[in-house]
Chain A
Amino acid sequence: MIEVIGLSKEFKSTKIKGAKTIRALDNISFKVQKGEIVGLLGENGAGKTTTLRMIATMLKPTGGTAVVNGYDIVKDQKKVRGEIGILFGGEVGLYDRLTARENIKYFSELNGMSYKETIDSIDYLVDMLDMKDYIDRRVGKFSRGMKQKVAIARSIVHNPSVMLFDEPTAGLDVTAARIVQDFIRKCKEDNKAIVFSSHSMSEVERICDRVIIIHKGRIIEEGTIEELKTKYNNENVEEIFMQLVGDNYGK
């Protein structure tokens, strides 16, 4: 499980004159239980990616902390990374000159898995994601959907208990997006704690158990979809989102 406690992040400002720092994330706290999918919803620049990067220990928080399965993200970085799998949207980020198997193997080895564990894990994933036909071919010429499967396998090869998804369906066609969504549901079945960031309310509505809406680095709303619908007396979740964050739209 994940427990985020008063997490804050300030970046040094290079572009805005006068301001010395930019507060990207301001004292946010939330929890994600095992087998739960929590949607992190917000506009571009709201702080979603920063939150996920800090949980994954790629960025150091300037305030607060988070605990992943009992490991602190500031003190036990390596252990935290061992518990976490992360899948990014946009560019899949594979090594084109390596085969699918070599790509996955590289990440499993870097996660400290033994030779046998690696072999077994890859065999399982090849089966699960139906990659038999191309597992030993170089990924350079793969279709987007095939690459997406390799990226998924890579993110989960070390069997993490926590999965982070950073706008994983951004820029994907319907088929590739479907592969990702199915995978997220599979993770839930496997009882993993899941954080899923998106700027699309409808996608979040379809997949997530609970939603956290971030705006300008702060949590402005939190709850299940049903709770939000009742609270704002509106069946259209997209409109609720606009109402909450879009106060300046068109003005």
Chain B
Amino acid sequence: MGSRVSWIVFKKELMDLFRDRKTLISSILVPIIIFPLLFFVMGNSMESMSKKVEENLKIAIKDNSQGSQLVNYIKEQKNINIVDSTNLDEDLKSGKILVAIEIPENFDEDIKNEKTVNLKMTYDNSSQSSQMAVDNLNLLLESYSKVIVEQRLIARNISGEFLNPIKVEMITTENEEEGYGKLMLSLMLPLLLIIYSIVGPMGAAVDLGAGEKERGTLEPLLTTQAGRLSLLWGKFFAITVMGLLSTLSSLTGLYLSTKQDNGLFHGGTGSLSVKTIVLIGVITLLLTMLFGALELAISIFARSFKEAQTYISPLMIIAFVPTYATYMMDAKNIESFYFHIPLANVSCIIKELISGIYNYAHLGITFGWIIVYILGSILFARYMFSREEVIFRT
């Protein structure tokens, strides 16, 4: 009877939730489009900025040596736009010019005499465009010095090879794009999965607990033959399913965003093994159950939707602390005690799994703890459901 009741409740709650446009939009549609949109905009704006700088390097030249060859060399470059400036500082700050170069007196002569010449470059280090311009200009100056060095070597009858006694060839353990993808994944995935395990079940939990109270449906529900625990289980599983759907939508969104041509990832995806995906999937499921039960317990305590939302949102902030604390951690060197810290352990284990590390001790500890948390939060929800003061708290 108990499991039959839970199944009836489960079916009804899911049908009810799926008919709610608000829930569908916030827990399925938004997570799918938010990442592609975000990364598309970010990727595009970054690319267009660097293109803008590359195509139009606005620089000012203060030539103290009057008509040096370097100035001519710079002027020959197509993408360089030389701007006259009387007040360098001001023009840099206003963005009228991106970089200013000061060429010392007797520049050509000093070069000819093989002296080291000091060039001064002024730029706005608070502007990304200005920094990009500096990088571009540095490349230009480097190639100019190379030309000079080559001329000097030829004058001494020495081959260009002379300057490169050692040549290094870099070989990476991962295919280069994959390595980048894996790094990005190990940074972002733990954070996202934890956030979505909290946010995903939230709407459903608020609706199925405090919502029943606010609509006045809880009391009639409790007068049926259904036991409170069976009601709780039905609601708990419905919330878990909604939470998982929400997480899946967000991951789908993330996956789509890696496929964008102009996106931030530029196709740098790490391919994960089936084993990794399954393990991460199970962790996400358990995490969603954990927060689903916790949120349901809080929600049934609250008098109204609003109160429930107010009580549940601090969960997010509390969860952020251990998650962010481990955000930049390198998967290869995580100390064991991290696996005893709630959520930090989840974040760390996901990082390890993405990097292909299967440390069974770490896995065991983390899964052990998650099970303990889930049992704790279900018992908490059960306790809340059994208390008259909580159920009739209006």
B304 → chain A closest CB, angstroms: 13
The SS class assigned to the B binding surface is: helix
Cβ contact within 8 Å between A93 and B220: yes
Question: Which of B79-87, B221-229, B310-318 is near enough to bind chain A?
Answer: B221-229
B18 → chain A closest CB, angstroms: 9
Q: Which of B208-241 contact A (CB under 8 A)?
A: 215-227
Complex Cα spacing A32 to B8, Å: 34
- Residues of B near A116 (CB, < 8 A) are none
Cβ contact within 8 Å between B224 and A91: no
Cβ contact within 8 Å between B216 and A90: yes
Is A56 among interface residues, defined by CB-CB distance under 8 A? yes
Is B168 among interface residues, defined by CB-CB distance under 8 A? no
Cβ contact within 8 Å between B216 and A97: no
Most chain B CB inside 10 Å of its own CB: which residue of A12, A85, A86, A106 = A106
- Residues of B near A106 (CB, < 8 A) are 8, 12
B68 → chain A closest CB, angstroms: 78
1/0 per residue, CB under 8 A from B, across A162-173: the answer is: 000000000000
Is B169 among interface residues, defined by CB-CB distance under 8 A? no
Complex Cα spacing A78 to B5, Å: 13
Is A210 among interface residues, defined by CB-CB distance under 8 A? no
The SS class assigned to the A binding surface is: mixed
Known: A86-B220, A107-B220, A155-B220. A97 touches B16 (CB 8 A): yes
- Residues of B near A158 (CB, < 8 A) are 225
- Residues of B near A155 (CB, < 8 A) are 220
Complex Cα spacing A86 to B221, Å: 10
Is A200 among interface residues, defined by CB-CB distance under 8 A? no
Cβ contact within 8 Å between A111 and B225: yes
Known: A59-B388, A88-B219, A112-B1. A95 touches B225 (CB 8 A): no
B168 → chain A closest CB, angstroms: 66
Complex Cα spacing A53 to B222, Å: 10
Cβ contact within 8 Å between A97 and B19: yes
Cβ contact within 8 Å between B224 and A81: yes
Complex Cα spacing A109 to B10, Å: 12
Complex Cα spacing A138 to B215, Å: 15
Cβ contact within 8 Å between B226 and A110: yes
Cβ contact within 8 Å between B224 and A93: no
Q: Which of A61-103 contact B (CB under 8 A)?
A: 78, 81-82, 84-86, 88, 90-98, 102
Complex Cα spacing A138 to B226, Å: 24
Is A60 among interface residues, defined by CB-CB distance under 8 A? yes
Most chain A CB inside 10 Å of its own CB: which residue of B1, B8, B9, B224 = B224
A53, A78, A90, A93: the one contacting B217 at CB < 8 Å is A93
- Residues of B near A92 (CB, < 8 A) are 216
A60, A96, A109: the one contacting B8 at CB < 8 Å is A109
Is B389 among interface residues, defined by CB-CB distance under 8 A? yes
- Residues of B near A48 (CB, < 8 A) are none
B215, B219, B225, B391: the one contacting A110 at CB < 8 Å is B225
Which 5 A-B residue pairs are closest in the complex by CB-CB distance?
A93-B216, A91-B216, A110-B224, A97-B19, A110-B226
**What would be 16 A-B contacts, judged by CB atoms less than 8 Å apart?**
A12-B389, A56-B223, A58-B388, A81-B223, A82-B225, A93-B216, A93-B219, A93-B220, A97-B20, A98-B12, A106-B8, A110-B8, A110-B224, A110-B225, A110-B226, A111-B225
